[in-house]
Amino acid sequence: MSDPSARYPSLDARVVFVTGGGSGIGAALVRAFHRQGARVAFVDIDDASSRRLCRELDQESGRAPLYRHCDIRDIPALLAVLDEVHEALGPVGTLVNNAANDERHDWRELSVDDWDERMSVNLRPMFFAIQAVAERMAAAGGGSIINFGSISVQNAIGNLSAYVTAKAAVHGLTRSLARDLGTRNIRVNTVVPGCILTSRQLERWIGPEDEARIQEHQCLKVRLLPEHVAPTVLFLAADDSAQLTGAAIPVDGGWG
């Protein structure tokens, strides 16, 4: 299949690890990196979608990404997969912390367990995945870590207080670790998607009237789809962005 994305020679054979890579934005990222010639591994909890994606890419290119079922709330399981990826493919050169859960919630009804569960999905795995790959990444000469934020922080979207808090913390995590890891030639950046019309968003939250309202706020009157996020992530992963770290890059059509 032809791919309109720019070609980045530095991503050829690069080991790339993506969390939540089975559907939505994550699947678009897995496709994009795979078509760059990268050696892609990803985790998800949706086995059916993930295996379908692996079959698609295997039929397209004769090689499949490495997929492992993993609930990223289980940090030991996530670290075990990262060890397996290192043994099978080599040191991770690009880590993409994409997985998240933006389940709506009323702040008045949120329990301590609910709060902790949302942090365990939207924030905690990012730090421990970075901690797990950073030394090996540095020993291999450096690399790129890409965390996913959310436009919900800038736009103060309601009914998402725990999620927005976690995503605001992602910006702090990126800034702090960009400083800590810069001396090791590791770049850390945040991608901030706008309203990306994934299947989940369309099924759960966004109807035609919502789409129209969102486009009123966007400078660009376009439907933002998962494949529109991938080119920015490819650029941040590639050596072409070698001087860029600690940044938050919006992909929002000019809404933020």
pLDDT digits (tens, 9 = 90+) for 90-137: 999 999 999 998 777 788 888 999 999 999 999 999 999 999 999 999
Question: Is 163 noted as a catalytic residue in this protein?
Answer: yes
- Residue 215 — pLDDT band, cuts 50, 70, 90? confident
Residues 177/184, Cβ–Cβ less than 8 Å? no
Q: 12-195+227-249: what CATH class?
A: alpha beta
Catalytic one of 17, 42, 148, 163: 163
Residues 33/40, Cβ–Cβ less than 8 Å? yes
The domain limits of the chain are: 12-195+227-249
State the pLDDT at residue 1: 45
Residue-wise pLDDT for 226-251, tens only, equals: 999 999 999 999 999 999 999 999 99
Entry pTM? 0.93
Residues 31/231, Cβ–Cβ less than 8 Å? no
Side chain identity, residue 80: A
Per the structure block, which two tokens stand in for 44? 């998800």
State the pLDDT at residue 5: 72
**Least trusted range by pLDDT, from 119-133, 160-174, 204-218:** 204-218
State the pLDDT at residue 206: 64
